[in-house]
Structure 1
């Protein structure tokens, strides 16, 4: 029996966990490739090549399934996701070049907090005391990482928070798309729309990559594409609230890579704040899952 066949025979929750874990490894490695590529290339060009090369890498999939596989009636959602995700991507890539990788990763854990607040302000959802307390704890964790007053608030940290805010919005859009769209199509539509959009600002700072930078750019595009495919497939197999705790894998992984490759030593505040942020988001996810089950039981009863 092949590995793929054995994987398909696994229960859906197990497959979702494995896919999400793989996605976290790919996303973590992206930070390293972004840092390496940005040493000799402007970050706006790195954003463009991340999207353009992903289209190149996915060309065999297009040829195999045909253009009809991209047929959709969700152009509005795809466009919204592309614009927001592109802005968030540019902010996140720039942050990685400005602050330690572990700090950028820890601040990225605030995305579910922003998603919860957005659901209250935009969708009118009601949250109760325990979720409010978890939100407050999450933002305390953010302050532990940033330590305003003790250290100057850096532009890189603000950009990392902007990236988390954008990711929070796009995660909700992706979950909506997975109900009817193929995971590969969701990823491909993202890079197809983001490639021309990201080319415009890149042209103002354009220089051609050297041979080694091309290697990092292809690795970045490959890791990003594989990560998004795994993440999208995982979201189609299980609820985001069940998968979200696996995101904490990124912090120890990036801390190890940052230390080995760039001699970055995360402070105790990054670890402590990251743990607090993660704990609060995991609790919020747990409460949302329980609420969804209760609502489902009431509708069924």
Structure 2
């Protein structure tokens, strides 16, 4: 598992309305460096995350997004409990946190981010939602200074500004996606960046398994308090889609954990951007979305800026 537990790959974007990213134990180094296989797993995880987003869009077009997210979080909470119970100390250790309020806030922030993303899938489609959401690593870099007191040099600030130019290219002011709905994935990106920074903050006092537990449980409780009022039974076919969504969630996160065991997170992060490719293919082929040239160019600019920021971070920490 990665030496840097604070790294948050784009594919884990609950990003992307995927289940919350697992946080591997920060004290255990990779058992064996098998970077090539880990990269393949990361690409597979990115594809499964894209499938999850497709399932989420199908279900959210027919049911309240809060219901879809609630059902998925119920399954995810069971997954978290089962996974954590197998760790040293079990559930008793996972419950004990030195920062309970912050841990709860993290869980709530993430589940709201997921909910916003699912709503954005319905209103904007998969392609344009992700084209805006990929700005979140740059938001993490921008906010790490004022929130965590980390130093951000002029090179990374330049990359951040270039990334925001890419978002403007995607939004294409005056036409296309430039409307109020376009704020949804940007707000989601901002919330996911905040979640990542809060994760760094709590990691100073709590081991990763504790954060992982509180992410799933706090999120499940929060979404249930809201979503239970929207309860309705799914049709038999939609239960199949929901089962597929939950199965993808558990499979993807298990594979993500396995990838982390084989290679450093910083080596895997660039390949997490392949999720944008898979999402674009699914959006065009299955949902008849239009892949506009400005979206391609703008997303490319943002990804390039994000990769440069990652490279600078590795250079500074190397």
TM-score (normalised: structure 2): 0.78
Q: Are residues 90 and 209 of structure 1, via their aligned partners in 2, closer, same or farther at CA, if it must alter by over 3 Å? A: same
- Select between 13-22 and 35-44 the one with higher mean Cα deviation: 13-22
1:166 aligns with one of 170, 174, 191: 191
| 2:107/2:215 contact within 8 Å kept | yes
Q: Highest CA radius of gyration, 1 or 2? A: 1
Specify the alignment match of 1:27 in structure 2. 49
1:48 equivalent to 2:77? Answer no
Specify the alignment match of 2:140 in structure 1. 115
Specify the alignment match of 1:211 in structure 2. 236
1:142 equivalent to 2:167? Answer yes
Specify the alignment match of 1:78 in structure 2. 103
Q: Are residues 264 and 105 of structure 1, via their aligned partners in 2, closer, same or farther at CA, if it must alter by over 3 Å? A: same
Distance 1:105 1:188 in 2: 27
SS in 2 for 1:97: helix
Q: Are residues 142 and 51 of structure 1, via their aligned partners in 2, closer, same or farther at CA, if it must alter by over 3 Å? A: same
Within a 5 Å distance, the mapping from 1:214-253 to structure 2 comes to 214-231=239-256, 234=259, 240-253=265-278
Q: Are residues 156 and 246 of structure 1, via their aligned partners in 2, closer, same or farther at CA, if it must alter by over 3 Å? A: farther
Specify every segment of 5 or more residues in structure 1 that has no aligned partner in the other structure, as ranges: 1-7, 294-301
Deviation at 1:64, TM superposition (A): 5.9
From the two aligned structures, give the one with the greater helix fraction. Answer: 1
Specify the alignment match of 1:297 in structure 2. none
Distance 2:289 2:150 in 1: 41
Specify the alignment match of 1:286 in structure 2. 311
- Select between 220-229 and 87-96 the one with higher mean Cα deviation: 220-229
Specify every segment of 5 or more residues in structure 2 that has no aligned partner in the other structure, as ranges: 1-29
1:104 aligns with one of 104, 117, 129: 129
1:268 equivalent to 2:287? Answer no
The total of aligned residue pairs comes to: 284
Distance 2:39 2:70 in 1: 30
Distance 2:77 2:147 in 1: 33
SS in 1 for 2:208: coil
| 1:48/1:195 contact within 8 Å kept | yes
Deviation at 1:240, TM superposition (A): 4.5
| 1:40/1:209 contact within 8 Å kept | no
Over aligned residue pairs, what C-alpha RMSD do you find? 2.8
| 2:126/2:280 contact within 8 Å kept | yes
Q: Are residues 261 and 187 of structure 1, via their aligned partners in 2, closer, same or farther at CA, if it must alter by over 3 Å? A: farther
Deviation at 1:181, TM superposition (A): 3.0
1:153 equivalent to 2:178? Answer yes
| 1:54/1:222 contact within 8 Å kept | no
1:87 equivalent to 2:112? Answer yes
| 1:89/1:163 contact within 8 Å kept | yes
Q: Are residues 58 and 121 of structure 1, via their aligned partners in 2, closer, same or farther at CA, if it must alter by over 3 Å? A: closer
Q: Are residues 80 and 229 of structure 1, via their aligned partners in 2, closer, same or farther at CA, if it must alter by over 3 Å? A: farther
1:181 aligns with one of 208, 212, 232: 208
Deviation at 1:86, TM superposition (A): 1.2
Deviation at 1:251, TM superposition (A): 1.7
| 1:241/1:288 contact within 8 Å kept | no
Distance 1:291 1:111 in 2: 20
Deviation at 1:131, TM superposition (A): 1.6
Distance 1:228 1:42 in 2: 25
TM-score (normalised: structure 1): 0.82
Specify the alignment match of 1:5 in structure 2. none
